[in-house]
Amino acid sequence: MSNENQINAISVNFTRFPHNLLIPSIENMISFQAMNLFKSEEKFLFKIMGENLNLKIPEELENEIQFNANEMKEFNISLTPLSDGYGKFTIAIDWLKLVEYIVKVKRIRDEVPKSKLKKILKKYSMKFQLEKDDYKCEDYITPMSSKEIKNYKNQLKEKRAAYNEYLSLKKEWQEKKAQGIEVNEPVLEVSEKDVNNILIKLAKGYLGNKDIDDALEIALQISDDEEKIHTYHDLIRACGSFNLDHAIEIIKSLPESGKKDELIKKLALDQIDLDPEQAPRIAYLITDPSLRENLIINMIGKTIDQDIVLSLQISQLIEDESKRIKILFNILEVVNKKDNRDKAIEIINKIIEIIEKSSELKLDENDFKNEQYDFYKDAINLLAELDSPQVADALLTKFELRNAKDKVAEDLFDIIYVMVDETRTKFEPTPVFSQYYLFNAFTSNINENIKSFSKIGGNVSNNILSNEFNFNLMYISLFGYDFSIFPLLDRLYGDLKFNNSKSISYYIFPSKTLQTEEELKIVSNTLKQFGVTDYDLHKNNQILLFNLDFIPYLGKPTAILSSEQSISQDIYSQLKNALGDNVNIKFDDSLFKGGKINEYLTQIFPTSPIINLILSYEFINNYDIFKQFTLSLI
């Protein structure tokens, strides 16, 4: 048995304990009371283990148990041996001490410590290159009456005739001059430009009357190709101010060229002032994605200061996600200047949404050293600042790209998070009780004699159970008392074996009378079954057999012996030399004459002398004397 009680936290009192030889077929019960010694509720954890023992442990003991202040609880544990030899029962108790400790924990900030809004927006700020255009639609829309139209037609006819006549005369003059004939050069009274001017005025008149096709047909009559195309396109732009669908259909019919794309661009920009929602529709007439995106960016540049909603709508047309995100940052800059926080948060979330849903943007490229990752990091930073760090953290938590999320959380740690001291509590297991017991176990050949032996409380030393007859002293106790002498004898057995390298043995049969033939038969048969009476096993090793009995206190440790005179003298000398006056040693054969047990033991061990030994209770209470007494005999 070993016992260690480190802190006065719990008391354990064993109220029932198997001092008998453990066998499988009978009940071997341990009962104990555990009492919380604290004046407060406390938790304890019981750790109960068995070696070579099957333990039936109450379910309550499998988990931590809470005790009220000074509360006592009682527990029962059943033991069943698994094989011959020792069975080890261990009970350890931990007090689950409630302790406080400080840990650094990550907490989400209530607000960012420092604004980075302007710095981030400046990083993405763009200057939109807006072309100057003095064009005005109304300059190409000149409503005319029929009379005015007719008048311009007549003027056109006259001027064409005059100009054609001039061309004819000039040709004739050039031919004669080539022949050397001197004639006067014809005077130019009506120029080609005069004709073209009339055509332009007439086209504007038709357009003013909503006669689009006639206006364009007139424009095609302009002789100067550059001016013809310029006028033709300007008329279409003007048409777009009142009949956009017709203007678009005309444009679609034009051959693909740079001038066509330029016309579409100008028409789209015209619509920014006229009907902004139509502008994106026109932009898609440009088939070249790069030219189209440049147009869209110019459209945004023209609307960004006046109509944020429209700018956001137009930005959705940008297919290149990086360009679209940059534009959104620029729109965000304008919104921020107008202190429209809700709209700013909406734009930031839009940027984040584009990034998170993108299959085009690679945030982890080049070990996160790329523009796309900066977009995301800066957007999260702005979200934390304008909305809250809590929202930014929640968004990062949901982001599927774990590596990018962790990188942003690391880079923006000081923006979104803060490390704080937090007091926590935990139950810290503190050993407060530890004890183990060794039991003698026997399972190999259980019969009725063994059962009866165990039930009455009989026990035998482990070396006998193991057939190790290397001892020369054996205590045989066939008397029952109000207490068990097993703990005393087993302690002595183990102490001498492990600390003194000495070997003794014991056999206990605590009968109250030992008068019946049945009990005598149990003693005889069990001694034989355990091999004690088999002289051949130890014939070369003379054994001192002590018929042990105890009597009440005599005031001083007293030993009364009776045996053959030669043996008695030797024992007396050994005891006297070892113990001196510490023990009273007496020889008195009269106490044992006619004793039935002595006679019975003599019959069982006919070749071994029986030494009758009576010890006073002082030996029980003074273990050291008992140990010294025994050592002097071996």
Q: How many CA atoms, within 13 angstroms, populate the side-chain half-sphere of residue 124?
A: 24
Pair 354, 325: CB distance under 8 Å: yes
| Residue 186 confidence (pLDDT) | 73
| Block mean pLDDT (10 aa), the chain, length 634 | 64 95 94 96 96 96 96 97 94 95 94 94 86 85 92 89 82 80 76 90 93 94 93 94 93 90 90 86 86 86 88 88 94 93 95 88 87 93 96 86 85 95 94 94 93 95 90 92 94 92 94 80 92 63 85 94 80 88 84 69 84 94 95 90
Distance in angstroms (rounded) separating the CA atoms of residues 320 and 69 = 73
| Residue 15 confidence (pLDDT) | 94
| Residue 541 confidence (pLDDT) | 57
Distance in angstroms (rounded) separating the CA atoms of residues 316 and 320 = 10
| Residue 515 confidence (pLDDT) | 66
| Residue 6 confidence (pLDDT) | 56
C-alpha to C-alpha distances, 284 to 249, 260, 267, 603, nearest whole angstrom: 13, 13, 12, 124
Compute φ and ψ for 83, nearest 5 degrees.
Answer: -160, 170
Q: Residue 24 is encoded by which pair of tokens?
A: 């499988």
| Residue 569 confidence (pLDDT) | 80
Distance in angstroms (rounded) separating the CA atoms of residues 103 and 497 = 52
Task: Choose which CATH entry (3.30.70, 3.40.630, 3.40.50, 2.30.30) describes domain 448-634.
Answer: 3.40.630
Helix, strand or coil for residue 448?
helix
Pair 624, 614: CB distance under 8 Å: no
The class (CATH top level) of 1-109+423-446 is mainly beta
Pair 48, 91: CB distance under 8 Å: yes
The secondary structure of 306-319 as a DSSP string is: T-HHHHHHHHTT--
Question: Which pairs from 131-134 meet CB under 8 Å and 24+ separation?
Answer: 131/298, 133/266, 133/269
- Degrees, nearest 5: CA angle 8-12-17: 155
Distance in angstroms (rounded) separating the CA atoms of residues 441 and 450 = 12
Please enumerate in sequence order all residues whose Cβ is within 8 A of that of 539, keeping only pairs 6 or more positions apart, or say none.
Answer: none
Q: Give the distance from CA 243 to its chain's centroid.
A: 65
| Residue 602 confidence (pLDDT) | 84
Please enumerate in sequence order all residues whose Cβ is within 8 A of that of 454, keeping only pairs 6 or more positions apart, or say none.
Answer: 20, 21, 22, 23, 26, 442
| Residue 403 confidence (pLDDT) | 80
Q: What residues does each domain of the chain span?
A: 1-109+423-446, 448-634
**Residue 36's closest CA among 74, 67, 3, 61?**
67
Per-residue three-class SS string for 512-556: CCCCCHHHHHHHHHHHHHCCCCCHHHCCCCCCEEEEEEEECCCCC
| Residue 4 confidence (pLDDT) | 46
**Residue 544's closest CA among 467, 474, 496, 612?**
474
| Residue 62 confidence (pLDDT) | 93
Pair 363, 376: CB distance under 8 Å: yes
| Residue 214 confidence (pLDDT) | 93
